[in-house]
Amino acid sequence: MNDIKKKYQNIKGQIELLENIKKGDKIYYTNGFMYLQYSNIFQSIYRYIAGENRELTFKYLETFIGTFISLCDQTKTVIKYIQDIETATIVTNIPLLKKKILTILEVLKETYPTNISELDRLYTFIQSSC
């Protein structure tokens, strides 16, 4: 159960960092979390220097969504055996987190119009899995 609680807190924290994404914002990864890099004239220079690129962004997203799907699956199993307030909160919040992730993916479609198929694949995967 502690694994689920920790995973939930990490996912929730990650979403809090990304949920205010706007068209043109990009994602970068450091210290185990994805962060927003707001659109500005130095964005591409920073991304180049930091070694960030679109392919890495999609890898970060795939890993994050995989972790979220894992949380969903683990929670479905645990809820059968453990029914405390923390578990109930996680179960209640999973659909809200899912909705926020889907919104983030929708905004990324505006930022990366040439990668809509990859983003649609992630969108469909999360939509059908949890």
> What pLDDT was estimated at residue 14?
96
pLDDT tops 70 at residue 1? no
What are the residues facing 34 on neighbouring strands? 29
3-state class of 130 per DSSP? coil
CA distance 118 to 5: 30
CA distance 91 to 115: 32
pLDDT tops 90 at residue 9? yes
pLDDT tops 80 at residue 34? yes
pTM of the model: 0.89
Q: How many domains does the chain have?
A: 1
What are the residues facing 29 on neighbouring strands? 34
CA distance 29 to 95: 25
> What pLDDT was estimated at residue 103?
96
Q: How many other C-beta atoms lie within 10 A of the C-beta of residue 127? A: 13
What pLDDT, in 10s, does the model give residues 76-130?
887 777 778 888 889 899 999 999 999 999 999 999 999 999 999 999 999 988 8
> What pLDDT was estimated at residue 87?
84
What pLDDT, in 10s, does the model give residues 45-90?
888 888 888 899 999 999 999 999 999 998 888 777 777 888 888 9
Q: At what angle do helices 2-18 and 54-78 cross, to 10 degrees?
A: 140
Domain interval for residue 99: 2-129
> Do 61 and 121 touch, CB atoms closer than 8 A?
no
Residue where the block lists tokens 């055996």: 81
DSSP for residue 26? E
CA distance 121 to 3: 27
